[in-house]
Amino acid sequence: MKSLIDSGPATTVENPVAGIDQTKGDFTYDVAYEFDAGTGLSERTVDYISSVKKEADWIRAFRRQALQVFQSKPMPTHWATRDLENIDFDRIRYYLASGQKPKRTWDEVPEDIKRTFERLGIPEQERKFLAGVEAQFDSEAAYSNIKEIVAKQGVIFVNSTEGLREHPELFRRWFGKVIPTGDNKFSALNSAVFSGGSFIYVPPGVKVAQPLQAYFRINAENFGQFERTLIIADEGSEVTYMEGCTAPKFSTATLHSAVVELVALKGAKIQYITVQNWANNVFNLVTKRGLAHEEAEIKWIDCNIGSRLTMKYPGVVLKGRKARGEVISIALANDGQHQDTGAKMIHAADETTSNVVSKSISVGQGRATYRGQVHIPKRLRGCRNNTECDALLINTNSRTDTYPAITVRGDRNSIQHEASVSKVSEDMIFYMQQRGLTEGQAMSLAVNGFINDLARQFPMEYSVELKRLIDLEMEGSVG
C-alpha cells in the first residue's frame, strides 16, 4: 500500500487562514484531571499513557516505535498546505482523563453556544456534555439495551482500551494492519498516543440491525483527540457505525488526529458514517481506511463541517475479487476554513468496483480541496471506478481545487470521472428572495439543494441535523 504522504499530487499554496484568531471557539474551564500527561511529546508521555492504561508490553513497544516514526517523518507540506507548520506539538496535551466532574455550570456557558444548541435541537442532557458542563454523557442507562441486544448476537462493541484488554488476540491480529504506523506522519502520531475510539467485532453471518453509534457512549476519553477505532466484520456479516454529531464541539484541543481501520472479511458489509462539526481552531487530520476482502463492501459516508484545516481521505483497499468500495462525502468550508478531503480507492483484485461522489461548498474565504487517488494496476481486469466531484462556490472569493489522481493501467478496466464547479448566482438568490426568502434562507436552500442527493443517504436524524446546521452556517455568511 502506498503511503498517503508520498502519493498525493504536489502543490504548494499560501496559507489561507494565516492570522486567524486561534482563540475563537476556544472554551476553557478548570477541570481537575486524575491523569494528565502534561504538554509536549516524548517517550515519557507515551510510557505514561501505557502505564495509566496498564497496557501489555507489545503495545507499549508499539507506541514507542510509532513515536520514532512520527519524529522522523517530515510534515507533508510538499503537497499539503503550509498551515500544518503552525501546529505546535509542544503545547499539546496528549492524554487527559478526568476522574472528577468539571466545576463549570450551565450558567457559565456563553449565550451564543446555548443558542446554537437550541437551534440544532440537541437534547438537554447532550448539550450539557457538549458544553463541557458534564464530563460524562449519562447515556449508558438509555442506550445500554442496544449494547445488550448486540451482545446477544455475539457482537463486541467496546472502547479501544477495553478491546485491547479483553480481546487481545482479535485486536492484535488486525490492529495497524490496514493503516500501518508509518502510513503518514499523523497515523504515526495517533499510533503513539491513541486513546478512546471503538473496537467492534461482528461474528460471521451476523447482521446488526441498528446502527452502532459512538454518540451513545460518549465519555471524556472517547471524545478525545487521538481516538483509534477498529471494526472487524467477519464473513457475511453486516454493520453500520455512526460517529460524531452535528453540534459544534467546544474543546481546548486544537489537534484532532484519529485513525480508523475497517476490515470486511469475505462477503461482509461495513458502512461508516461520520458527521462532524469542529470549532474553527481545530486541525482535524484523520486517516481512515478499510480493507475489503472477496465480495465484501465498504462504504464511507463522510460529512465535514468546521475546523481550521481538515485533511481526510477515506479509502478502501479492494483486496478480494468483486470487492466494492464507496466514498460519499460532503465538505463545507466557511471563512478561514480549509477542507482538504477526498478518497482513495486501491484496486488489488479482479472485478473490484469503486465509486466516489464528493460535493464541496466554499463560503466566503473558505477553501475546499478535493484530492483523490484511484489505483488500478495493469495485471487486473474487470475493475471499474466512477468518480464524481462537484464544487459549489458561494462567493466570488471562495476557492476550490481538485486534484484527482487516477492511475489505471492495462486495457481491461474502466473508469469514469466527472467534475463540476458551480456558483450560487445572484440571479438565483434574487429569484428566491422574490418568493419571500431572506438572503440567508435562500443561500441555505441553494446549498441544501446542492447536497440533496447525498444527504438523502444519511440516516434520517443526521440529515435533518445536517440541514439545520447548513442553515446556521449560511445565516452567518451573508450580511
Among 101, 140, 431, 461, binds another protein (CB under 8 A): 431
User: For residue 256, how many C-alpha atoms fall within 13 Å in the half-sphere facing its CB?
Assistant: 29
> Segment near another protein (CB under 8 A), from 56-64, 126-134, 157-165, 437-445?
437-445
Q: Which of 71, 441, 457, 464 binds another protein (CB under 8 A)?
A: 441
Consecutive H or E run containing 439 = helix 439-455
Instruction: Name which position in 47, 350, 401, 439 contacts another protein (CB under 8 A).
Output: 439
Instruction: For another protein, give the closer residue by CB, 27 or 462.
Output: 462
Return all residues near 203 (Cβ < 8 A) that are at least 6 apart. 153, 154, 155, 234, 237
Grid coordinates representing 456 are 438523502
Residue 169 makes contact with another protein by CB under 8 A: no
Does the footprint of another protein cover residue 428 (CB under 8 A)?
A: yes
CB of 445 to another protein, least distance (A): 6
266-295 residues near another protein, rule: CB under 8 A: none
Q: Which is nearer to another protein, 128 or 359 (CB)?
A: 359
* Pairing label, strands 384-393, 353-362: parallel
Nearest to 271 by CA among 222, 311, 351, 213: 213
**Which one, 26 or 439, has the nearer CB to another protein?**
439
Q: In the stretch 447-476, what mask flags binding to another protein with x, by CB under 8 A?
A: -xxxxxx-----------------------
Sign of the CA dihedral running 11, 14, 20, 22:
positive
Q: Does 418 bind another protein (CB under 8 A)?
A: no
Least distance from C-beta 273 to another protein, angstroms? 20
How many whole angstroms separate alpha carbon 312 and alpha carbon 285? 6
Q: Which of 133, 189, 446, 466 binds another protein (CB under 8 A)?
A: 446
The residues near 68 (Cβ < 8 Å, ≥ 6 apart) are none
By beta-carbon proximity to another protein, the closer residue of 3 and 441 is 441
Among 34, 430, 461, 476, binds another protein (CB under 8 A): 430
In the complex, the smallest distance separating the C-beta of residue 429 from another protein, rounded to whole angstroms, is 9
Q: What CA–CA distance (Å, rounded) separates 389 from 401?
A: 10
Residue (255 or 424) nearer to another protein, CB: 424
Residue 51 or 422 having the CB closest to another protein: 422
Q: Measured between alpha carbons, how far is 453 from 270 in angstroms, rounded to an integer?
A: 21
- Which residue's CB is nearer to another protein, number 11 or number 422? 422
Number of residues that bind another protein (CB under 8 A): 25
Exactly one of 18, 140, 433, 461 binds another protein (CB under 8 A); which one?
A: 433
Q: Which stretch binds another protein (CB under 8 A): 195-203, 279-287, 405-413, 435-443?
A: 435-443
For residues 227 and 465, which CB has a smaller minimum distance to another protein in the complex?
Answer: 465
Calpha distance 313→324 (Å, rounded): 17
Cell numbers placing 26? 476556544
Choose between 47 and 439: whose C-beta lies nearer to another protein. Answer: 439
Residue 127 to residues 137, 139, 142, 276, 399, Cα–Cα distance (Å): 9, 12, 16, 16, 34
Name residue, grid cell 442496544: 146
Q: How far apart are CA 369 and CA 8, in angstroms?
A: 12
Minimum distance of another protein from residue 39's CB (angstroms): 46
**Which range binds another protein by CB under 8 A, 87-95, 239-247, 300-308, 428-436?**
428-436
**Cβ-based nearer residue to another protein, 114 or 266:** 114
Q: Can you tell me the distance from the alpha carbon of 174 to that of 180, in angstroms, rounded to the nearest whole number?
A: 10
DSSP, res 179: S
Rounded Cα–Cα distance for residues 393 and 367 (Å) = 9
- Shortest gap between Cβ of 248 and another protein (angstroms)? 23
Out of 28, 144, 414, 425, name the contact with another protein by CB under 8 A.
Answer: 425
In order, the DSSP letters of 373-392 are: EEEE-TT--S-EEEEEEEEE
**Coil, strand, or helix at residue 18?**
coil
CB 373: neighbour CB atoms within 10 A? 22
279 or 472, CB closer to another protein? 472
Q: How far is the CB of 414 from another protein (least distance, A)?
A: 27
8-state DSSP, 432: H
Report the interface residues with another protein, using CB under 8 A: 422, 425-428, 430-439, 441-442, 445-446, 448-453
